[in-house]
Amino acid sequence: MKAPVLDIESPAVYRLMPTRLQEKIGEDKTRCNLCLWRCGLHHGQRGFCQAHVNRNGTLYNLSYGIISAMDVGPIEAKPVRHYRPGTQVLSVGSYGCSFRCGGCHNLEISWGTDALDQLARGESRAAFVPAEQLVKAAIDSGVQGIAFTYSEPAVWLEYVLDVAEIAHQQGLYIVYVSNSFVTDEALSLLKGKVDVLCSDIKSMDDSFYQRICARASVAEVLASIKKAHELGIHVETRTNVIPGYNDNEDELRAIAQWVKDNLGPQSPWHVTRFYPAYRMADVPATPVETLQRAAEMGRQVGLENVYDYSDKGCDCADENAPVSSYLPGWTSLHEVKKCADSCCGDDGILLKRYEREANPSSVSEVK
C-alpha cells in the first residue's frame, strides 16, 4: 500500500463552485439547504460552517477541491466493519463543519476558520485538487474506496458527489462519515453515490446536541440516519461515550434500542472512547469498563454486532480503533512488536495487552 500522493505538478485553477442546494428566499437573500442549519444569507455573508458564501445572490462553496487532511488506512478504522472488510480507503476531509463539538479533535482540519477566511478573501495558497485528481491519487495509492471524513461531508457535498461519480466509474466505493445533521434533499442526492454511511449518534438528549449546534435535535439526527438506511445506503452507527455527558445506562440503552428498532438487530453499533480535547480537556478519557458496559447493554437489547473500542493498541495510537482492525493477521503482532498505529513506526512500542499475553490466541475478540 502506497502513501497517498497528489500530482500537483500542474495544479488546476481554484474556483468557487455554486452551492448544490440553494434557493432564493427574498429579494436579497438565498438559502443553503445542504444541512439543517438552512442558512439564509445576504450578499457577502457566509453560513454557519463558513464554507458557503453569498456573492450577489448566488451561493458558492469555498472549500470545493480544498483538502485539509488525507490518509490511507483500513475501512475498519472509520469505523465500518460490515462493508468490504479488509479493504483500504483513502480518507479525505475539508474545512468547515456544521457542529462545534466541545471535544473536537480536528479543529484545524475541520472548522478551519483561518483557512476558510483566506479562501473567502482570495488569499489562500492551498492546493486545489479536482475530483479526477483525487480519484487518481486513490487508485495510485492502491485503495479500494474513498472516505469523506474529518469534518461533516454535507458541507462540501458538491465535491463529494463529483468525486463519487468518477470513483464509482473506476470501481471504488464511497464512505461518508457524518453527524447526520443533514437535509432530506441532501440525503436524496447521496443515493447511488454513497455506499456507506457511518453516522454518529452522540446522545438521546436534545440539550447535548444544542450545546454543539443550537438548531439540532435528536429527532432530526435520527430521522436522517433512518432515511439513509431506507435509501439503501449501508449504515453503521457510532457513539463516542463521554464521561458525565452521555454515559448513563438509560441513555446508552436507548441508543442501542433505537438502532435495533430502526436499523435492525444486525446493524453494527460502535462504542468508542472519548479522549480529552479542546473545551473538554478537563473531562477524563472514558474508562474501559464504561465502554464494555455500554457494549454489553447493546447486546442485551438484542444488537448482534456491537463493537467496543476499549483497546486502541498502545498509549500513543491516535485512533481508538482496535488492534485487529489494523492487522487482520494479528497473531503475528507479538512477534513483530509493531505499533497498531503509525505513531511509533516499526520499532515502536509493543502493544501492552499483547506484551502481557505471550499466547495471542488467548486474547478474546474485540467484538
Q: How many residues belong to the site for ligand SF4 (CB under 6 A)?
A: 24
Under the binding rule (CB under 6 A), the answer on residue 94 touching ligand SF4 is no
Residue closer to ligand SF4 by CB (options 99, 309) is: 99
Under the binding rule (CB under 6 A), the answer on residue 52 touching ligand SF4 is yes
Under the binding rule (CB under 6 A), the answer on residue 62 touching ligand SF4 is no
Under the binding rule (CB under 6 A), the answer on residue 97 touching ligand SF4 is yes
For residues 171 and 182, the answer to whether their CB atoms sit within 8 Å is: no
Under the binding rule (CB under 6 A), the answer on residue 320 touching ligand SF4 is no
Q: Give which of 55, 60, 61 is closest to 28, Cα–Cα.
A: 55
Sort strands 306-308 and 40-42 into parallel, antiparallel or unpaired: unpaired
Instruction: Report 178-197 residues binding ligand SF4 (CB under 6 A).
Output: 179
Strands (DSSP E) found in the chain:
17-18, 22-26, 29-32, 40-42, 52-55, 58-61, 69-74, 88-93, 145-148, 173-178, 196-200, 234-241, 269-273, 306-308
Under the binding rule (CB under 6 A), the answer on residue 348 touching ligand SF4 is no
Q: Give which of 96, 79, 92 is closest to 6, Cα–Cα.
A: 92
Smallest gap from residue 95 Cβ to ligand SF4 (A): 10
Longest Cα–Cα distance of the chain, Å, equals: 72
Under the binding rule (CB under 6 A), the answer on residue 174 touching ligand SF4 is no
**Binding segment (CB under 6 A) for ligand SF4, from list 42-50, 116-124, 128-136, 293-301:** 42-50
Residue 211 grid cell? 450545546
Residue in the structure block whose three cell numbers are 446522545: 203
Sort strands 173-178 and 196-200 into parallel, antiparallel or unpaired: parallel
Beta bridge partners of 42: 29
For residues 84 and 173, the answer to whether their CB atoms sit within 8 Å is: yes
Smallest gap from residue 152 Cβ to ligand SF4 (A): 6
Under the binding rule (CB under 6 A), the answer on residue 66 touching ligand SF4 is no
Residue closer to ligand SF4 by CB (options 51, 198) is: 51
- How many Å apart are CA 86 and CA 325, to the nearest integer? 8
- The reply to whether omega before 85 is within 30° of 0 (cis) is no
Binding ligand SF4 by CB under 6 A: which of 30, 68, 88, 110? 110
Smallest gap from residue 321 Cβ to ligand SF4 (A): 16
x/- letters, 203..232, toward ligand SF4 (CB under 6 A): ------------------------------
Under the binding rule (CB under 6 A), the answer on residue 112 touching ligand SF4 is no
Under the binding rule (CB under 6 A), the answer on residue 312 touching ligand SF4 is no
Under the binding rule (CB under 6 A), the answer on residue 115 touching ligand SF4 is no
What single string gives the DSSP state of each residue in 51-82? Answer: -EEEETTEEEES-TTB-SEEEEEEGGGTT--S
Binding ligand SF4 by CB under 6 A: which of 68, 98, 224, 310? 98
Smallest gap from residue 337 Cβ to ligand SF4 (A): 33
Left if phi > 0, otherwise alpha if psi is -120 to 50, otherwise beta: which for 150? Answer: left
Under the binding rule (CB under 6 A), the answer on residue 317 touching ligand SF4 is no
Under the binding rule (CB under 6 A), the answer on residue 149 touching ligand SF4 is no
Binding footprint of ligand SF4 on the chain (CB under 6 A) = 32, 34-35, 37-39, 47-49, 51-52, 97-101, 104, 106, 110, 151-152, 154-155, 179
